[in-house]
Structure 1
Amino acid sequence: MKKLFFALVLIVMHEHSFSQKITVDKIDDFTGAHIVETSYAKISDGFNCTLRKIDGRCYFSTAYNCGDEIYSAKEGAEFMLKLNDGEIIILNNLEYAVADYWSSGAPAYLSHFVLKTEYLLSPSQVAQLQSTEISVVRLYTSEGYIERIVSERNAKRLLKLFNLIKML
């Protein structure tokens, strides 16, 4: 019985640790802007995203694990989201980005390059992403494009993520 209880506690803790949540909800002391940020969600292996809303403007940020490669993305570079209903949302990178070196600093020294990009979402795009799952993503970089299939599990998590941020 103790083993069963322990297993259930571990399962609940594991699911909770990967749940999407609001990590910041504050009013900036200097600007008076209302800032809301979410935890990161997995798009696919090595590809994560988060949302940030500042005074009603919603930003979609991605982080791509480039491994040993160094990629860059031009200002205006496209990030495409193909939805389950066949609709394609095209976002444009807000500024030039180049992959940064990242290291865990742990004894195993996990290290790689990470390309971080950011996009502004319109209220209609947010509404679409709150109601329809993403099936495929495509990120255009200096080396062409990177395309990833979004698993059904990750698609559901992304749907929850977008529903955390309600447009004003």
Structure 2
Amino acid sequence: MPPTRAALRAATLLLAFAASACAGGDPAREYALLTSTYNATYQEVRDALDAGSTLDDLRAALAAMADAEHTFWEGLKRIAFPEAVRLDADHLLRFTAEAEAIAREGATASDWETARAALVRYNYVSEQASAASNRIRVGLGLPGVVTPGPTPGPSPSPSPGP
């Protein structure tokens, strides 16, 4: 059964909780909490994209991505990153804001091709964000470098549906 919009919203709310826990304490602990919660949210969205077959499904998933990116960005801003990873943290903030803007654009697309093009651009920026995130994880001494692939999505040709 594909994740529902309510499940996507619940995942984003959990991410908001993790973001609010970032308050300038232990950067490694806060970053680990924020990224693990973001990754779980991201997986919910990936599952929704895999299961979706209509323009509305794609737009809903892109809207959830935009919300998750914004919440992740808010959490990142609260972490007191050490100087050793500051440049990568700044890059990650920029990539996250760019990913949010692209996902919001796709979430309001009026046709399949425009929404799908937004997803492709989102994937490109997400790969750049993942590289910055991995450098931050290494710099903070966190285990498990994350290497998510591109976000799968619906096939290039739309299925019949609303």
- TM beyond 0.5: no
- Structure number with greater Rg is 1
Compare relative contact order (CA 8 Å, sep 6+) and give the higher one, 1 or 2.
Answer: 2
TM-score normalised by length of structure 1: 0.29
Higher helix share: 2
TM-score normalised by length of structure 2: 0.29
